[in-house]
Amino acid sequence: MSSADQPVMTTSAGRVRGIVDPDTGVRTWRGVPYGATTEGAGRFRAPRPVEPWTGVRDASAFSPPAMQGFFGWTDNVIGTEDCLTLDIVRPDNDEELPVVVYFHGGTFVTGSSHEKVLQGHYLTKTTDIVYISVNFRLGVFGYLDYRTLGEDCVANPALLDQILALRWVHDNAAGFGGDPGRVTIMGESAGGAAVIHLMCAPAARGLFHRAIAQSPPVASVHSRVQAAMWVRKLIKDMGLPSQTTLEALREADAEALVRVGQSMLLNRKELVQFNTSFMPTVDTHTLPAHPIDVFQSGAQAPVPLIIGTNADEASFAKALYQTNKSRLRAARRALSVYDPDNAEAVLETYDFVDDRRKFAALIADAVFWAPSVMLATEHRRTAPTWMYRFDYASTTMRRIGLGAMHTSDLAAVFGDAKATRASKFDPFQPREEFDEVSAAMQFHWGSFFHNAHPGEKWPVYGFRSDTEPGRATAIFAAKSSVEYDPKAAQRRAWEGFDMREWGMHRQDLVETLTDSIPDEGNA
């Protein structure tokens, strides 16, 4: 391989040698470290910059992902704690281009920078960007707040990892031909939530200039009550004494911690109550308040924002309950944990979930759509905001009841129809409609990367005026369109519902856990 096929770049820590991908023709540098190892003494602590190296570091192969459970027939654990790496992709030229920093999804517990659909080669070529995809700590190492065990830790390791990655981009993007003054942060699902959290984080201010949040579970933020509950459960399920210290957890076997964390994630009762074990925590510092509160106060980063969801995010929920009675009981319990006074009004809007589709719609709207609308409503007062809904689904996906399910937008945005798990359900679907939807999304995303505006045919999510109905929403489908204030009745119902503080109406938790939580954490 010639030197032209092995581009060498200089970073703040040392030189890296990448490759020109033989299949797509893009330049790529893989597994470039931006932080020091987080194993051992670094476990549960804030990340540190990577130590400089001498010589030229090989960056032709992807690094292992962050340590995580592998969901399958076995309880295998993959990845490593030494996971603070990123992958860089750009067209094979020397033009200065906008930068896109991507944060992967995976329910805060799985995923990697180099999942096939997220490698970014097609998006990079189509939109002319420098694409940087980031690995960060997950699960028990990244998204659990251990401060009830001692102060020698941080509440949000993963969020701090992401901020460190953005500092690396600020310092190094120019060396790869990226414009550090045009940085877009982007992510889907838990990665979309990361985008919102970074907009709320004072330490990330000025490190990015526009944001795209796809299907973000905006309200998936732990209160201190939740965090204390899950730390206690982790210790119990590990078979450790109730007075276990941070130091003891640092010495615990990493794979055992991951396996126990994975079993905690599968707690169906808490899952249905939107209370999963791993999320960021409101800590008054890195994440100073709940994102809804931050946006309502106008304290978020005042950058242009694209935010949206898929039409059938939670289509899997159709299979959770077999009777109307059990569905209604589950829905009422889940909503009442947040806001019992307004739960019935929301349920009425969904006809008290009298069929499976309405139950799935309620779950999807509670987790993804309603809080996204809340944030868009507030952010439009601060900076230009655009909202979308992804409706496209193949005939097969609709026929089997999945529709435009969670993650189905990724293939369209990244331009690779066969790269997602969902594509396995539909191997023979004609490409024409998909190609049209993908081209539309890549056009709008590309315009946003370059110009901080997705194009004139996509109106802002603005206020009602004499000439515009307001709340314009781009609908990406076989025939894309713009709708104004879609699902208005549901939007109004959720406006009266408080989804900021899980557990305040779980007295069993509050009474048993409050004594161990510092006063400042109850805010």
Based on its alpha-carbon atoms, the radius of gyration of the chain, rounded to whole angstroms, reads 22
Sign of CA dihedral 15, 20, 25, 28: negative
Tokens 């599968």 locate to 266
Q: What is the DSSP letter of 81?
A: S
More confident residue, 505 or 140: 140
Exposure of 455 by Cβ count < 10 A (0-12 exposed, 13-18 middle, 19+ buried)?
Answer: middle
* 255 vs 108: CA distance, rounded Å: 17
* 420 vs 429: CA distance, rounded Å: 14
pLDDT band at 321 (very low <50, low <70, confident <90, very high): confident
Count Cβ neighbours within 10 Å for each residue of 500-520 and write b for 16 or more, e otherwise.
bbbbbebeebeeebeeebeee
User: Is the pLDDT assigned to residue 303 strictly greater than 80?
Assistant: yes
Average pLDDT on 124-148 reads: 97
User: In angstroms, how far is CA 50 from the centroid of its own chain?
Assistant: 24
Angle CA 214–217–218, to nearest 5: 100
pLDDT of residue 201: 98
Query: Rounded to the nearest 10 degrees, what angle do helices 157-172 and 190-200 cross at?
Result: 80
Give the tens place of pLDDT for each residue, 6-62.
899 999 999 999 999 999 999 999 999 999 999 999 999 999 999 999 999 999 999
pLDDT of residue 523: 36
Sign of CA dihedral 348, 352, 358, 361: positive
* 521 vs 223: CA distance, rounded Å: 8
* 522 vs 451: CA distance, rounded Å: 41
pLDDT band at 425 (very low <50, low <70, confident <90, very high): low
CATH number for 378? 3.40.50.1820
Q: What is the DSSP letter of 191?
A: H
Number of domains in the chain: 1
Sign of CA dihedral 284, 289, 294, 296: negative
* 57 vs 190: CA distance, rounded Å: 31
Count Cβ neighbours within 10 Å for each residue of 299-328 and write b for 16 or more, e otherwise.
ebbebbbbbbbbbbbbbebbebbeeeeebb
Average pLDDT on 402-412 reads: 93
User: Is the pLDDT assigned to residue 283 strictly greater than 80?
Assistant: yes
Q: Specify the pairing of strand 130-134 against strand 178-188.
A: unpaired
pLDDT of residue 520: 46
User: Is the pLDDT assigned to residue 1 strictly greater than 60?
Assistant: no
Q: List active site positions.
A: 189
pLDDT of residue 504: 54
Percent of the chain residues past pLDDT 70, beyond the cut = 90
Give the tens place of pLDDT for each residue, 229-249.
899 999 999 999 989 999 999
pLDDT of residue 521: 40
pLDDT of residue 432: 86
**What single letter denotes the amino acid at residue 253?**
D
pLDDT of residue 404: 92
Average pLDDT on 457-471 reads: 86
* 252 vs 177: CA distance, rounded Å: 43
* 190 vs 178: CA distance, rounded Å: 26
**What single letter denotes the amino acid at residue 89?**
V
- HSE-up of residue 244 (Cα within 13 Å, Cβ side): 19
The SS3 assignment for 376 reads helix
Give the tens place of pLDDT for each residue, 159-212.
999 999 999 999 999 999 999 999 999 999 999 999 999 999 999 999 999 999
Full-model pTM: 0.94
User: Is the pLDDT assigned to residue 517 strictly greater than 80?
Assistant: no
**What single letter denotes the amino acid at residue 182?**
R
* 520 vs 247: CA distance, rounded Å: 24
Sign of CA dihedral 275, 278, 282, 283: positive
Query: Which pair of structure tokens corresponds to residue 151?
Result: 């102060």
Is residue 153 within 8 Å of residue 105, measured between CB atoms? no
Average pLDDT, the chain: 90
Host domain of residue 318: 3-522
* 359 vs 41: CA distance, rounded Å: 45
More confident residue, 262 or 482: 482
* 328 vs 442: CA distance, rounded Å: 40
Runs of H (alpha helix) within 103-223: 121-127, 139-142, 157-172, 190-200
* 83 vs 37: CA distance, rounded Å: 7
* 299 vs 100: CA distance, rounded Å: 23
User: Is the pLDDT assigned to residue 491 strictly greater than 80?
Assistant: yes
Q: What is the DSSP letter of 222?
A: B
The SS3 assignment for 213 reads strand
Runs of H (alpha helix) within 452-520: 488-495, 507-513
Q: Which of 76-80, 125-129, 317-321, 385-389 has the lowest mean pLDDT?
A: 317-321
Of the candidates 245, 255, 127, which has an alpha carbon nearest to the alpha carbon of residue 186? 127
User: Is the pLDDT assigned to residue 512 strictly greater than 70?
Assistant: no
pLDDT band at 81 (very low <50, low <70, confident <90, very high): very high
